Amino acid sequence: MKKTPFVTLQQVNEICRQYPTPFHIYDEKGIRENARALKKAFSWNKGYREYFAVKATPNPFLLKIFQEEGCGVDCSSYTELLMADALGFSGENIMFSSNATPEKDFLLAHKIHATINLDDFSDIETLDRLAGIPETISCRYNPGGSFTIGNSIMDFPANAKYGFTRKQLTAGYKLLMEKGAKHFGLHAFLASNTIANEYYPTLAKILFQTAVELHQETGAHIAFINLSGGVGIPYKPDQQKNDIFAIGEGVRKAFEEILVPAGMGDVAIYTELGRFMTGPYGGLVATAIHEKKIYKDYIGLDACAANLMRPAMYGAYHHITVLGKENAPADHVYDITGGLCENNDKFAVDRELPEIQLGDRIFIHDTGAHGFSMGYNYNGKLRSAEILLKEDGSFQLIRRAETPADYFATFDFTDFFKNIKN
């Protein structure tokens, strides 16, 4: 089976006249259409808001697209908060969800009036000591045990480092109320990259029931319930993608069944999707620069795991298209590699592809989330450029490629590299 790239060989070759490979490229049209579909799927909830997970694709040009589409941002660090604030996201449009949180991060989140989502009971005293407890606060819930959909185990929250236990939630809400909190949020993330329309509705039932119990136990006003992320994408071509309208309808039914009868029909629903929002709308474009035939056939690219870590890190599958050969028979078997001094630097192993010649452009699919953002500089490799394919078919540089001067910039207190040129 095949996946169809959102960019053509002709377009890539045009881009390469100005910006050499490798580079990550993003599809503005696809991103905007997807954001609008998500908003429509949850339009039944008056307070609904999507907070795009900045960690997935931390590029200001993309964040501005989400801002234009009415989304907020989910930040997890000091630097991400700085980015959100610089781009003009207002306090209520910034969600701060962190763990093992440095004090300076809490201070900045409080200063810019972000909604703070506490990860641990001890964070209550820390935040109170540093800046005081705001009137609106959220807590992250970890129900422990295993998380199942039907008869299938999706993940094991008991092994996760995140969140309050159920008893801690009740105690935490009471303590926060004593310290001045008036409006509460409830948040949970129980499984990653699910290809199941039932994930959000199942999670929603857990959170909705917990919210009703917390309201009854503490009298706290539950202002919003944050379903976080976890709605995934089909990396493999034979996988069925999630139906966001079916997902939204499933959450609506749970809302009507649990929250409305409890007199909590004013609760806003939030989401913090990253992978779902940008994953399919990004690709890594590279060039075949080396061919090796020993015990296997290898094609070496000018990109490596420093540009896309997921396959090397945990064997993740990313589909590969040889641009211009979309309809050619996949009658060759290759390992597609980078040039790092690590044997796991492979984008694909024993992958059936058309015959590849040196100079062919390679499109690696679904890198729009957790692609560029997980990059690193091992072996002195430099991070690539990022390109936006605009709705009108033109393209825009949205991050330049790193240079050797960038790599050596943190040694600017020495004279060792003063003569380094790009």
Catalytic annotation, pick one of 16, 75, 139, 341: 341
Rounded-to-integer distance, Cα 269 and Cα 251, Å: 9
Chain mean position to CA 372: 11
Chain mean position to CA 323: 26
Cβ(412)–Cβ(420) below 8 Å: no
Of 204, 227, 239, nearest to 273 by C-alpha is 227
Known catalytic membership, residue 341? yes
Cβ(53)–Cβ(229) below 8 Å: yes
Cβ(317)–Cβ(236) below 8 Å: yes
| Coil vs helix vs strand at 240 | coil
Structure tokens at 177: 């109320």
Cβ(41)–Cβ(34) below 8 Å: no
Neighbours of 160 (CB within 10 A): 14
Rounded-to-integer distance, Cα 374 and Cα 164, Å: 27
Rounded-to-integer distance, Cα 56 and Cα 193, Å: 12
Sign, Cα dihedral of 362, 399, 91, 101 = positive
Q: Which residues are registered as beta bridge partners of 301?
A: 288
Extended strands (E) in 150-259: 152-155, 183-187, 221-226
Sign, Cα dihedral of 8, 13, 14, 20 = positive
Cβ(276)–Cβ(195) below 8 Å: no
Residues known to be catalytic:
341
